[in-house]
Chains A and B, each alone.
Chain A
């Protein structure tokens, strides 16, 4: 039995590709979960009542959700507040220098502004 177990033992053996969980999956942050939950609740309740008022794609709430999920609560919240201030009738005047235009089924033409383009 011992011989059999030892036959499987390989000193220094490591898998060729290490499967590492992403940081965001590994760490459970209750503040982030709370913020994301608030955004989800807003999307399910108030967002539907207010209608499609955002000029961007992804919309401000989706942008906030994605940025907090990807970049953590501090940077994510900063990015979200920045986006809320940019979501105004003036935004369309910055096309095409800063934003691209994209057609979103059901929402029409929107300014394309993903979180990745607004990193510091």
Chain B
């Protein structure tokens, strides 16, 4: 009975216009992944519209930030024009293949390649944007060597800097107090702790500057993307 039902209704299930309508309905509901499956079904049923449907699937994957999946679908598209190349370049950038992306991006979109690879001089020729001001890791570490916590403050983490200063100063004072009291084991323990915290602070300043730079670069890329893709 069930078999008979399927045999009679199979044409309804595989009706391309119904499949497309269903896919659009799923997309409207926000069920992106099921919508993608239905769009793929439609592309299979109507091969002549495959390219345009695949472009739409690529956009849906991009919407969900699934860039490798988007790239996989993009490769299957036969139409290789500037739009395709720019999209391929953008997706390659997003998946980490920066050098490869440079071959595909054209015109204003090439600014993205320069932003990702840090070639700010070339970027300026396309878009008039100021490159991000980066913190010097070496200078941050040097500042922490002179005054504990200062390097972290320079890297933009004032709270961490104050806490580090207090921690190192506190253990140092404790060591001195133990020395005055003649408690040698605790004196050595506090000296070791203070030295460890001091070295850790220098290391932390370096890392803080590095992570601050990463954040600034990320925000700069977002700004360039906004400018280019608007």
Contact = CB atoms under 8 A, between A and B. Distances in A.
A84 B159 contact: no
B196 A81 contact: yes
Contacts of B197: 81, 84-85
Given A78-B199, A78-B203, A85 B160 contact: yes
Contacts of B190: none
B159 A77 contact: no
Q: How large is the interface on B (under 10, 10 to 19, 20 to 34, 35 or more residues)?
A: 10 to 19
Contacts of A119: 207
A82 B202 CA distance: 8
B86 interface: no
Contact of A86 (B160, B199, B210, B215): B160
B206 A120 contact: yes
A110 to B, nearest CB: 17
Interface in B176-230: 196-197, 199-201, 203-204, 206-207, 210-211, 215
Contact of A98 (B163, B196, B206, B215): B215
Interface in A72-100: 77-86, 88-91, 93-94, 97-98
B160 A81 contact: no
Nearest to A77: B196
B125 to A, nearest CB: 30
B159 A88 contact: yes
Given A94-B157, A98-B215, A120-B210, A84 B200 contact: yes
Interface string A50-92: 0000000000000000000000000001111111111011110
Given A78-B200, A120-B207, 11 more contacts: A78-B199, A83-B200, A85-B163, A85-B197, A85-B204, A86-B160, A89-B159, A90-B160, A90-B162, A91-B160, A93-B159
12 contacts: A81-B196, A81-B203, A82-B200, A85-B200, A86-B160, A88-B159, A88-B163, A91-B160, A94-B159, A94-B160, A118-B211, A120-B210
